[in-house]
Amino acid sequence: AAREGAGCVFVIGGATIYDLALPYADRIFMTEVDANPEGDVFFPELRGSEWSSETLASYPAGDGNDHAFSIVRMDRQLAVSPRS
């Protein structure tokens, strides 16, 4: 994508696609749903010193939404090397 001049690439997964793309991601837009579904594959937790997060919007459960959810932007905290 970079060779073609794309400024931004969106990855819409499946677990294998996410696993392949995550090491290259520097920003993630994620929908966090307030639910505990059954399943055997989940997106990894990205909290901690490597990622910062900002909640962009939150929506309550209600008409058309069985669960409350939030839209969150995650930014990878890139290490900055000191200048010599």
Q: In the chain, what are the domain boundaries?
A: 15-76
Give 15-76's CATH code, choosing from 1.10.1040.10, 1.50.10.10, 3.40.50.1370, 3.40.430.10: 3.40.430.10
DSSP classification of residue 24 = G
| Distance (Å, whole) CA 9 – CA 31 | 17
Q: What is the pLDDT of residues 14-24, one digit of tens each?
A: 889 999 999 98
In sequence order, the 6+-apart residues with CB closer than 8 A to the CB of 48 are none
Q: What is the pLDDT of residue 84?
A: 47
Per-residue confidence band for 83, with pLDDT thresholds at 50, 70 and 90: low
CA-closest candidate to residue 34, choices 57, 59, 64: 59
pTM for the model: 0.77
Angle formed at CA 46 by CA 28 and CA 42, multiple of 5 degrees:
90
